[in-house]
Amino acid sequence: MGGLDITAAVIDIMKPILKVNKCITIGTPHQGASGSKLLAKVKKYPKHHEIQCINLDPSSEPIKFISTLENRKLFLDSIGKLYIFMGLRDFVVRKGHLSQNPLFYLP
């Protein structure tokens, strides 16, 4: 969850990280991961993994907060360069593919 963690850290209201030169995300489900909440119920994960699955659901408060237009713009304005590597074969990140959300592309 590093890609989501850096996004949350940059847009944090209380203590944001203001100077990020380069950000590289690999396979980050920026828009959440469909089915993650169901996976948390079906699988017998440790509690902390279950909470991570629930928080990755596109309708969860953390994903909705990160995904607001204002916060995405704040994230992009706060970093120098953004590099995103996405594998379309990965069933978790396929639904969060950035081609569905062009705001994450930098010129």
pLDDT, tens digit (0-9, with 9 covering 90-100), for 56-79:
888 889 889 988 999 989 988 888
Q: What are the tens digits of pLDDT across the range 2-54?
A: 888 888 888 888 888 877 888 888 777 777 888 888 888 888 888 888 888 88
For the chain, give the secondary structure using H, E and C: CHHHHHHHHHHCCCCCCCCEEEEEEECCCCCCCCCHHHHHHHCCCCHHHHHHHHHCCCCCHHHHHHCCHHHHHHHHHHEEEEEEECCCCCCCCHHHCHHHCHHHCCC
Entry pTM: 0.67
